[in-house]
Structure 1
Amino acid sequence: MTENTDTSQFNADELQAPAWLNVQFIEEVLSAYEKVPLHVTDLKITPATAQGDHYASVMFRTVAEYTTEKGKFSKPLIVKTMPEQEGHKKDMLSKSHIFETEILMYTKALPEFERILQEAGDNTKLYVPCIYHSLEPRQVMIFEDLVPQGYTVIRDRPATKEELKKVFSKLAKWHAVSMKVINERPDFLKEFKYGMWDMTEFLNDPMVTSGLPCFIEMLDKVPELMKYKPYFEKIKENYIQRMSEIMLEYRNGPQANRYYVLCHGDFHIRNMMFKNNKKTGAFEDVMLVDFQISNVCPITVDLTYSVYMLMESEERCELGKDFINYYFTVLEDTLQKVGFKGEMPTQSGLWEHIRGHRYYDFFLMTSFLGMMLAIKTKSLKLTDLILDPETRQKSYFLDAFLKDVKTLLPKFEKLGYFENL
């Protein structure tokens, strides 16, 4: 049964567990995982995440009490499944490849990446083991719960620089190993071809299609920003096409002097869990989660996304310079350690690649940044931002959003982003 709890902080579709998520199902899963007969004596189920944490799945936290011949045991688990309730979320995700992709990440890509790192003397953990997965009769993944192990999602404060450096260190190591694999065994990652830009329902959703029009409307009403309106008017008819060219560049025709990796695809703060020492409080580790749109694509997809969806205003308005340069030092070091045989990337080349994909900056700023800041400042709710046009429009006039835009647009102008649109 689902435990009674305060429902206001959770997503509505996670308040009641589906009928199939029951004692019998968990008993079968644990018996197979533990490789011993067992009997589940009690099962507690609660929502696994808070509002604003995610949208592309339904998640439950379960605690299974069970017995075997060796005694009584307890196992905390996270159950992740596709939306079953009729509505926007199910409509947007039902035809996607997100579960196939994530299962492949946990069972194929990430274990191989860890193996390569370990051979190079690096024991970095890139993922938490998946103890069960299925696509039929339903799409489900089950993991050991990280919370009892001391990991938490950061919600009520910014991540520290120490925490973010660890985040970018892990990303750099993952990217470096994927560059090695792409260079030596490109077919190994051929199945990772479904990113954000392959989700037709997502691309046609008002959350995406209304972004630039809402942004232009804001520019028209803020006197000091009105001068930028013609630039965005100029691109509004073709910027989605330009974005597609960026996202699909690796598959349609890799470019010279460009860097391609297996990207996370949704690299934001709620897709990371941070661990501090229980006794000293010292920061120890971060674990990346939610690999549903991981795909082989330009390295910019994760790095530029992090500027808008992970960093704080100060770093964002410098386009992530310090963190991305730190990331590059780890990327370069890891490539050398794992024996990368391709042409080594350069820091100047990385920045040239990032700035060459200016349309991705435009897209993230006009479509996602306002929503992210609205959630972070608790000004508006995620479901309202996605489903209600009036709420979405309000996010473009939030003080936090306007503050960043008033810094970013002059920065773009100085860098030449508005030339030759």
Structure 2
Amino acid sequence: MIRETWDELETGEKVGRMMFKSVRFADDQALFSQSARGLPALDDTLYKRCEENGMRIKDKKTKAMRFYKPSRASKLRLKSSATALRCVISFIVNSGDAASEKAGLGVLVSIERHSQSRPVGFRASVWQYLLHFNRPTLFEMDRKNRQQWIKDVLAKQIVDTYLPWKGSQIAGCDVEHIEGKKDNFASTTYAITIRLRKGEGGSEEYLSQSLFLKFIVDEQVVREALHSENQFHNEIMWYSKVVPRFDSLIKEAGIRDWNCDIFPKCFYAYYDVDDAVVALEDLRPKKFQLGDRYCLDVKHVEKALETIARSHALAYKWREVDGESFNEVAGSFKESTLNEQLDDTLKACNSRVMKALEKDPAYKDRLLKFQEITVNPYKLMRFFAKPKNNLATLCHGDFCRNNMLFSEGSENGNSTVDIKLIDFQTVRYASPAIDLSFFFFLSTTPEFRAKEFDRLFDLYHNTLLKTLKALSPKEKPEYIKNLENVFSLQAFKDDFAKHAVYGYFITAFFLPVMLVDDKTREEMSQLWEANDDRHVEMLANMGGENVTKQLVETLKEVLDRGYWPILENKV
């Protein structure tokens, strides 16, 4: 059996050499030109070459057309045409016929050998691809097999690709599945501890690093409902494109007293149409944990606002110094939360609050106006989520207590709070009020906001302006004055007033889920996962009078403060 497998692989390598030469030109045309004709040409060429050499394919139209969109062809910064070809063949050789698949693996081996500047051993390459293509996708694996795959394959990939660990040997690896849906329902998560050995003989050094692994959630219905592929695309874009650019802006400005440690360190990220994994620093050993489930105290609110202000300011600076690259990245984030299926749910949640407030005659006229504005909540939310002016920035998109970790400490006898922002799966280019209204309404109480809102909004603005100035150390006074005019406190207040209803709707949807017991939350999740319409009615009544009262106070605040969106006939 081993001999037969090896013969098929060697035959495949010969086919691979021919294919590599035959399709290189078509490959280059497909991926590095503006022409929309390139991808069909590549598909046709690959199909003909495989057919000529007895490699069976299920469908002439390969998944290359799905994976490489013509409109994005010129934007793919692939290292070589061989890399692109390897990706495309990986889709078409999986025909279900063992001999054809093994021959296809040989094709990949050939490409690997011909495209790398540093030769890769033939047998090592063969078994690397056997491991990859003879496994199911990650979400199809059972837990035991996935944990073994993490140990045997993923740990090595992380070590090989993370530059500071290059050349290290894995001395040990432990994997733990992290249970629970209460605060982490959008991912399947594992903790992994990798023990590394560097050097040889008497100069050996040892290192142990704990990582937090995020995979696309296992349940298919949840994957589809949450648009999990889009969410992971966004998170990988954030860690691979945004954080490095933020870090370079901080270094270029010579800032020493803070850096990008407001985000977890990313060690590895992988994404394709079937699988995705992100490996982040495990913050639990550093005592980071979620804050109170509802109603953060003032010191945690202050820290959160200061941190998001820095993130927003860094995005403004990036847009100023390199608008082209900023716009390319900002335009690449995918919609992952707002879909038409939400419309009925948002209507039901809003109706719950409005019916309760109708009992107060003081709000009758304003409530009628609000009802008219919010008749199509889905379209309204999509309108809020679009950039409209120069205050638009890169928003976290899900900026609430669930997506920030805190660590308590002390310095000179005073208590301190450190923070990390996590879960960048719903990033969007939009008004900063998308983050601010979401955070204020969902993570603080109406009583807290009545006392602290204006001061805390000023804190956010002052931190943002201070950050922008720190990022511009060599600019002249005229520049700073213009900065203060463009990003004035009044401009942010006006912008918040136009978008705050976004945060109200999010709160009407999420607050009931946050304030009920685990059993009730699980029942609602089961109905939702089963696509049972009863989950809408259940959500609209969840939490009883206590939740309704808090949501009514939030809507009163919206109406009392005059948070009316200017729709400009676009909704």
Q: TM > 0.5 between the two?
A: yes
CA deviation profile, 1:17-37 (whole Å, cap 9, x unmatched): 662643212431343132235
Q: Please tell me whether the aligned partners of residues 267 and 309 of structure 1 are also in contact (alpha carbons under 8 angstroms).
A: no
Q: Please tell me whether the aligned partners of residues 78 and 144 of structure 1 are also in contact (alpha carbons under 8 angstroms).
A: yes
Question: Is 2:264 the counterpart of 1:132?
Answer: no
CA distance in 1, matches of 2:295, 2:429: 29
Q: Please tell me whether the aligned partners of residues 163 and 283 of structure 1 are also in contact (alpha carbons under 8 angstroms).
A: no
Q: Please tell me whether the aligned partners of residues 393 and 430 of structure 2 are also in contact (alpha carbons under 8 angstroms).
A: yes
Equivalenced residue count is: 395
Q: Which amino acid aligns with 2:359?
A: E
Equivalent residue for 2:558, pick from 407, 412, 421? 412
Question: Is 2:371 the counterpart of 1:224?
Answer: no
Q: Relative to structure 1, is the Cα distance of residues 46 and 92 closer, same or farther in structure 2, using a 3 angstrom cutoff?
A: same
TM-score using structure 2 length: 0.61
CA distance in 1, matches of 2:394, 2:141: 30
CA distance in 2, matches of 1:97, 1:74: 32
Q: Please tell me whether the aligned partners of residues 40 and 66 of structure 1 are also in contact (alpha carbons under 8 angstroms).
A: yes
Alignment match, 1:315:
448
Identity, % of aligned pairs? Answer: 18
The farther-off stretch of 269-278 and 322-331 is: 269-278
Q: Please tell me whether the aligned partners of residues 214 and 278 of structure 2 are also in contact (alpha carbons under 8 angstroms).
A: yes
Secondary structure of 1:287's counterpart equals: strand
CA distance in 2, matches of 1:225, 1:319: 26
Q: Relative to structure 1, is the Cα distance of residues 83 and 95 closer, same or farther in structure 2, using a 3 angstrom cutoff?
A: closer
Q: Relative to structure 1, is the Cα distance of residues 221 and 167 closer, same or farther in structure 2, using a 3 angstrom cutoff?
A: closer
Q: Considering only aligned residues, what root-mean-square deviation do their CA atoms show, in Å?
A: 3.4
Q: Which amino acid aligns with 1:84?
A: D
| Match runs of 1:204-215 below 5 Å | 204-206=340-342, 209-215=344-350
Q: Relative to structure 1, is the Cα distance of residues 329 and 159 closer, same or farther in structure 2, using a 3 angstrom cutoff?
A: same
Q: How far off its partner does 1:348 sit?
A: 1.5
Question: Is 2:188 the counterpart of 1:58?
Answer: yes
Alignment match, 1:101:
234
Q: How far off its partner does 1:291 sit?
A: 1.0
**Which gives a bigger RCO, structure 1 or 2 (Cα 8 Å, sep 6+)?**
1
Alignment match, 2:11:
none
Q: Relative to structure 1, is the Cα distance of residues 113 and 369 closer, same or farther in structure 2, using a 3 angstrom cutoff?
A: same
Equivalent residue for 1:403, pick from 542, 549, 554? 549
Alignment match, 2:283:
146
CA deviation profile, 1:239-289 (whole Å, cap 9, x unmatched): 3223222211x2xxx33xx51111111111121111123998933411111
Q: How far off its partner does 1:218 sit?
A: 5.0
Q: Please tell me whether the aligned partners of residues 498 and 565 of structure 2 are also in contact (alpha carbons under 8 angstroms).
A: no
Alignment match, 2:146:
19
Q: Which amino acid aligns with 1:384?
A: M
CA deviation profile, 1:91-114 (whole Å, cap 9, x unmatched): 124474222221221122112213
CA deviation profile, 1:34-79 (whole Å, cap 9, x unmatched): 223524545231216x433133322222234565653765432111
Q: Relative to structure 1, is the Cα distance of residues 353 and 42 closer, same or farther in structure 2, using a 3 angstrom cutoff?
A: closer
CA distance in 1, matches of 2:415, 2:564: 44
Q: Please tell me whether the aligned partners of residues 234 and 333 of structure 2 are also in contact (alpha carbons under 8 angstroms).
A: no
Q: How far off its partner does 1:180 sit?
A: 1.4
Secondary structure of 1:224's counterpart equals: coil
CA deviation profile, 1:283-306 (whole Å, cap 9, x unmatched): 341111111122221111111111
TM-score using structure 1 length: 0.81
Q: How far off its partner does 1:322 sit?
A: 2.6
Alignment match, 1:328:
461
Question: Is 2:497 the counterpart of 1:355?
Answer: yes
CA distance in 2, matches of 1:316, 1:371: 21
Q: Relative to structure 1, is the Cα distance of residues 278 and 18 closer, same or farther in structure 2, using a 3 angstrom cutoff?
A: farther
Unpaired runs of 5+ residues, structure 1, are 1-12
Question: Is 2:167 the counterpart of 1:36?
Answer: yes
Q: Relative to structure 1, is the Cα distance of residues 372 and 182 closer, same or farther in structure 2, using a 3 angstrom cutoff?
A: farther
Q: Relative to structure 1, is the Cα distance of residues 221 and 393 closer, same or farther in structure 2, using a 3 angstrom cutoff?
A: same
Alignment match, 2:541:
394
Q: Write 1 or 2 for the structure with the bigger share of helix.
A: 2
Alignment match, 2:325:
188
CA deviation profile, 1:180-219 (whole Å, cap 9, x unmatched): 11123222222233668x237x52335x531222431454
Unpaired runs of 5+ residues, structure 2, are 1-139, 529-534
CA distance in 1, matches of 2:190, 2:553: 40
Q: Which amino acid aligns with 2:263?
A: Y
CA distance in 2, matches of 1:330, 1:299: 14
CA distance in 1, matches of 2:318, 2:393: 9
CA distance in 1, matches of 2:356, 2:556: 17
Q: Which amino acid aligns with 2:308?
A: L
Secondary structure of 1:77's counterpart equals: strand
Secondary structure of 1:91's counterpart equals: helix
Question: Is 2:314 the counterpart of 1:177?
Answer: yes
Equivalent residue for 2:418, pick from 255, 270, 285? 285
Alignment match, 1:243:
381
Equivalent residue for 1:83, pick from 212, 217, 241? 217
Q: Relative to structure 1, is the Cα distance of residues 361 and 72 closer, same or farther in structure 2, using a 3 angstrom cutoff?
A: closer
Q: How far off its partner does 1:396 sit?
A: 5.9
Alignment match, 1:346:
488
CA distance in 2, matches of 1:143, 1:407: 39
Q: How far off its partner does 1:146 sit?
A: 0.8
Q: Which amino acid aligns with 1:240?
A: Y
Secondary structure of 2:177's counterpart equals: strand
Question: Is 2:392 the counterpart of 1:260?
Answer: yes
CA distance in 2, matches of 1:298, 1:383: 35
CA distance in 1, matches of 2:445, 2:142: 32
CA deviation profile, 1:325-379 (whole Å, cap 9, x unmatched): 111111111111212856431112111111122432442243233333447xx68
Secondary structure of 2:426's counterpart equals: coil
CA distance in 2, matches of 1:397, 1:236: 23
CA distance in 2, matches of 1:161, 1:76: 31
Q: How far off its partner does 1:83 sit?
A: 2.0
Q: Relative to structure 1, is the Cα distance of residues 242 and 343 closer, same or farther in structure 2, using a 3 angstrom cutoff?
A: farther
